[in-house]
């Protein structure tokens, strides 16, 4: 019985240590979530305005031809997947990776039909273990990622589509709703064949130098890259929200486990005391 009590006490101490760690991680994630959420929300108006400008130019420029606006037969698809570098974030990584894997299984018969651009160590390791074709990867993003950190991978993905190496590009990430809710998304980023439909009904007339087509050719890649950067910011906010929620749940579970183990320890201690009293009484009666 004494040995059992020592084991229970050791388990209580271990669970208390774990609780301290999960509580600290929850607080850190909560503090980082606020900044990440502000960054994600601040990027959305810029992306929306840029889309409006591009849509106005495209709507006002008839018969405009640009590789990023043209649909073509699908021979090869690219996926740009946003994950995290670290785990302990609930289903944050698993949800988006499951979505991408399901899409690939349904759409492609061989690895020759698709390619993957991945942001985050978790996604990279996941695709490597399954021998899936990774074209380019970015790991080690800061908690407040800048555009410079993902410029290379976004430029490569957009340029390879423009050069017809890929016929469509999907952006896969977790859309941030709130700390409790992150929705895995797989949006077709390229071609931008529906961008003119999102323009205003009343198109504002502007004069462009050197031409509307020239301005559009400069803006389209920047717009696509801005959408990618906005998704990365959304992903960071989702990561911290998921981690805060997961660590909060772990802290609550640790508290329950400590209460249960403390109750078991007290019962074992009470049983040991009762047994000792019974032995003393029995010994006293034997001597009487």
- In the chain, domain spans: 2-24+249-287, 26-245
Fold of the domain built from segment(s) 2-24+249-287 = Helix Hairpins (1.10.287)
Residue 3, pLDDT score: 55
- Say whether pLDDT at 199 is over 70: no
H-assigned helices in 87-146: 92-107, 121-129
- How many CA atoms within 13 Å lie on the side-chain side of 219? 21
Helix-helix angle 92-107:121-129, to 10 degrees: 40
Average pLDDT for 219-240:
92
Tokens matching residue 120: 């985050």
CA atoms of 286 and 276, how far apart (whole Å) = 15
Torsion of CA 174, 75, 224, 213, to 10 degrees: -160
Which segments within the chain are labelled E, that is strand? 77-82, 114-119, 134-138, 168-176, 182-190
Residue 286, pLDDT score: 75
CA atoms of 55 and 46, how far apart (whole Å) = 14
Residue 62, pLDDT score: 61
**Span 1-57, pLDDT tens digits:** 455 788 989 999 999 999 999 999 999 999 999 999 999 888 888 888 888 888 777
Length of the chain: 288
**Do 12 and 265 meet the contact criterion of CB atoms below 8 Å apart?**
yes
**Span 76-124, pLDDT tens digits:** 999 999 999 999 999 999 999 999 999 999 999 999 999 999 999 999 9
Q: How many other C-beta atoms are found inside a 10 Å radius of the C-beta of residue 238?
A: 31
> What's the whole-model pTM score?
0.86
**Do 141 and 86 meet the contact criterion of CB atoms below 8 Å apart?**
no
CA atoms of 135 and 261, how far apart (whole Å) = 50
Task: Give the 3-state secondary structure of residue 237.
Answer: helix
Q: Which CATH architecture has domain 26-245?
A: 3-Layer(aba) Sandwich (3.40)
The answer for residues whose C-beta is within 8 angstroms of residue 115's C-beta and 6 or more apart is: 76, 77, 78, 79, 133, 134, 135, 166
Tokens matching residue 130: 């399954």
The answer for residues whose C-beta is within 8 angstroms of residue 21's C-beta and 6 or more apart is: none
CA atoms of 101 and 111, how far apart (whole Å) = 12
């Amino acid at each position: 019985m004494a040995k059992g009590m020592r084991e229970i006490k050791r388990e209580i101490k271990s669970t208390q240590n774990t609780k301290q760690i999960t509580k600290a991680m929850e607080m850190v994630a909560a503090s980082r979530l606020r900044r990440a959420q502000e960054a994600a929300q601040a990027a959305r108006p810029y992306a929306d305005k840029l889309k409006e400008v591009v849509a106005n130019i495209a709507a006002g420029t008839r018969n405009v031809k640009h590789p990023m606006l043209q649909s073509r037969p699908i021979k090869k698809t690219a996926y740009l997947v946003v994950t995290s570098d670290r785990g302990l974030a609930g289903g944050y990584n698993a949800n988006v990776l499951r979505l991408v894997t399901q899409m690939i299984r349904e759409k492609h018969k061989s690895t020759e039909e698709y390619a993957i651009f991945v942001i985050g160590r978790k996604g990279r390791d996941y695709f490597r273990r399954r021998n899936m074709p990774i074209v380019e990867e970015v790991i080690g993003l800061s908690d407040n990622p800048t555009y410079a950190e993902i410029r290379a991978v976004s430029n490569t993905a957009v340029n390879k589509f423009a050069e017809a190496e890929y016929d469509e590009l999907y952006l896969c990430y977790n859309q941030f709703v709130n700390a409790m809710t992150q929705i895995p998304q797989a949006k077709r980023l390229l071609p931008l064949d529906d961008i003119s439909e999102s323009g205003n009904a009343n198109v504002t007339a502007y004069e462009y130098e050197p031409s509307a087509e020239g301005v559009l050719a400069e803006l389209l890649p920047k717009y696509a890259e801005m959408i990618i950067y906005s998704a990365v910011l959304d992903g960071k906010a989702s990561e911290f929200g998921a981690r805060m929620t997961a660590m909060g749940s772990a802290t609550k579970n640790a508290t329950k486990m400590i209460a249960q183990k403390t109750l078991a320890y007290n019962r074992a201690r009470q049983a040991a005391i009762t047994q000792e009293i019974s032995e003393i009484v029995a010994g006293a009666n034997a001597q009487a």
